[in-house]
Structure 1
Amino acid sequence: MSGQTEEKPVPGPGTGAAAAAAPVAAAPVAGATPEVPGTAIPSPAGPSDAATVRSVQSAPPVTAAPLARGGAVRSTAATGPGTVLGNRYRLVLRVGSDLSAGAEFWRAEDTILQRDVGVTVLRRLPADEADEDPEGTARAGEMIVRALRSGGFEHPGCARLLDVLAAGSPGVPSDVLGAAVTEWVAEHSLTEAVAGGLIKPLRAARMVQQLAAAADEAHGRGLVLGTDHPQRIRVTGDGRAQVAFVLPRPGLTPEDDVRGLGAVLYTLLTSRWPLSGSDAARAGLPSPERDEHGAPVPPSALRPGIPVELDAVCTAALGAHGAGPVVGRVHTAAAVHRMIGEVVLEDDRAALFPPEHDGVGAEPGDVWQAKTRKAAPQDPDRRRKLLIGLGVLGAGVLVVLGYLGVQLGAMFGEPNAPAIVVGDSAAAGAPAPTAPGGPAVSVAVSGVSLEVYDRTGDRDNASDVERAVDGDPATSWATFTYKQQLPALKPGVGLMASFASVEQLSRLTVRSPSAGTVVEIRSAPSVDADLDETQLLTTETLGSGSTTISLADSQPTQHVLVWITKLGGGGDANVSQIDELTFYRAGV
């Protein structure tokens, strides 16, 4: 970060990579300036922007050997929360791991500059006599040397490298073979970024654009980022996917980064990690379905509305790994970056025209909004008070008219004629109409407004929703057709009904041909309430035709959510259709 004061050197002897168990020493860097008894490798931007990578320029090369033979003073405590590496970086929380690289990912605190940093820790492996490198010493040495060579690489798609610690350095525990320190990407992991619901496809493309650019530039310098592991990727506050943890495993190639770019875009579109199933499980992400060749199915097969261009980018970038030439396969990060850039550019050019439906509802800040989107009342309490005031005023007018009618009848009518009451009999104190010989009759609630309720943002056929309360059973609303039953892609689909005022309901009639549909009837405090803020009234399985659901024990409410938790149909055609919803007010 240009313009800030230079980082203070660590007190005491250098924690440089001179003790790194690596067969290759880092090459001297022209123009390096002394910092501690090693030599810092500055970036082109100058010393204040450089990663404080501690090099081996002042020490002779050392070969990979067990640390116990090196004679260095090391801590014997195992790494864990609270461990301080290099007398400076205190480990706070482990946020992931890459077993193939023997690496753990930690959020740590820089105790000198009082800031969060990301630390990749290389752990000593359990000894295996049959292995040529039983404890992973040579592997770690190679990874440390590659990190030193990448010290000058900076890009918005990759967290900046700040420091490298070698095995045997003061303050490095005996079970640690090396560590790399980067800036902390504080916002979200890749799993957290998709946990809140589906992401708009074009927004997902913009999120990967800088990551693809970083991989393209890194490959041009002979470097590899390690984008093929989901826990190495985090999402910044401004919506950029970024490599947050370095030290990828040895043997990783630029082609692995290309597959990683396709996997990150695939995950943002579908919430599924398409590469290693064990990595997906460790990150808390499901794996997608696969075709007869073992390749993940295209994103559009899991989610409707994905543009064909992004479908093609994912398919071409993932490709069959190690299977030789593949038709339509993309082999370079530059090609992925160019393809995503063209999709984003075309979206910018088309900004003056309404977008095609992509399966996600318009966000409040979007220029184009759905025609059926109703503006939420700015002050629900004010609307309720206004309705109450109008009701009181109307009752007062009826009372006055009734009184005048009585007086006029007394003046001009027959002396023994009954009094005439003008207006609503209920407002004048008369009993409500009743069925002959039976209890009070419930009346259908009129003026019901309806909208699709879906907190993931993917509102099913929102333009047709009013057909479910238009009084015409010949018109209907239906969900999307899903290849999997709920809650595989989303927890449910709902219809939020709102009345002009608070109503005491007696029952609800649902006319639907989708037998087997399971609905929960919930009262809601507002139209935009979260599902956990609603109150479950009852659960019912719909039959084919008309199903009556009793609400006799419910409390007065102004908003009722019909929440579908299981769709009708079956197999790969799961869909529910609602022809008509009729709410009945309880009789007096």
Structure 2
Amino acid sequence: MTQVGEGHETAADEAGPVLTFGAPTAGEVLAERYQLEEHVNNDSAGRQVWRGIDVILRRPVAMVLRHPGGDSAVEMLQAAVAASRVIHPNLVGVYDAIDEQDRAYVVREWVDGESLRDLVATEGPLDPARAISIAHSVADALTAVHATGMVHGNVHPGSTLIADDGRVVLADARADAADSTESDVRAVGGILYFALTGHWPHAEVGRSALTDANRDSAGNPAAPRQIRAGIPAYLDDLTMDLLDRRVAAPVSDALTAELGRLDAAAEDEEYEDVGPLRFVQGGSSSSSEPIRSAPKILVGVGALIVIAIIGLIFGIRAINNTGKTTAAGDTPATEPATGADGGAAQEPAPDPQKIKITADMVRMVDPPRGDRLDGDQAKYTVDGDPSTVWETSRYNSARFGNWKAGMGILINLGEKRSLSEVQVTTSAPGATIDVRTGENDPGDTSKGDEKIVKEYKSLKDETPDKSTGTKSYITGFDPNQKYQYVLVFLTELPRAEDGDRFQISVSEIELSGY
């Protein structure tokens, strides 16, 4: 269970080393009040996180301990004292901050639940309504923090906790001089992006760093709708505007209001009817005009002018044509649609759609020295029935006994298509799944399979990471290229459920595209 302290990763803890001297033990009572019950984990700064009991109030608490205390713990203790002044249902409560010189510790609310990081790792990207609800709660918490003049500085999937009762709690404020209210607000865009795609759009280091977003040659993250089908256009625009520093960021209360409006619309599944952005100035400003970057203002004004001119033209024509009749068979001319710049109007980019794949479009690929015994099960990966699976044989090591490169499912779409994502559902996490593409199928033979493995190109330049859940979402398709042959290739297996050697089952493979 992830608790407080699981925030952004840093290269090292500048304040000091991991707690080792005078290491606490279960049952120990600190400050004659807080009894340690269970060591939960170490946070990204190397501090120990414990579940404990306040023996006076008889309530569970989370305790974050570090060694040494004294001057090196001042920043941690000051942040805790500042956070204790803000009371809000979406902020973790801070109860105490104690410096014993040899060690220091902060006592906080214990939240029964899991972090957004762990939730997405287990369940995969969230549906839009749930992503909106979580982001709304985080923005509301930031509004309370910013109202006191403070900055949170650590809005992250690891510090966003989802309680078992559904409450969303933001934990572990850790602001430094580089943080600002704007960086907090833009981090909410990161929370939305991560919840929708399973990728983190901000740079991060450390052993537990989140999976990076897919990026273009300029380093910009791909929009959520390019990665995953079914994300409303408005939510996609909102997320990318929050991440784009060229677009003016709203203040936190304006973002909270906008997400609240979208959250209410999500309950009735009316995403497309929520209208344009309604960010308004917060604080002392009395303006009710939306916050916009200069280019968006000019585009909006230009569009209104074009609409007014078109309306005037049609109005004059209607007056001139009053009393005239149209000869039988005549059809009034239709004016071509125009955009804000006077040119032809651009059609909005279509949403990625799930591509129908049938049994005759898939086959197993098992390169030389493979036994090719499971080929008849390939059809089960596209039949839409999660109870039917393609199951690998058992191997003595995760890398197929170290005597073959792997095995997988080849999909022939029948024609070249623009693709956005592959979704693979497996029986367990821990598999390495490499998606590769090629130009043809050289034949359903051992030699043909060998050629496929040798010549097909992976979507990723680096070695794919092991899956962290049973649903894996693989992206990286070039939007300017079309594909016909896609290979979902397993290169490393998890241990079998009963612990006897290595094996996995694949129940569903889904492709999304245009």
The normalised TM-score by structure 2 is: 0.50
* Greater RCO, CA 8 A, separation 6+: 2
The normalised TM-score by structure 1 is: 0.44
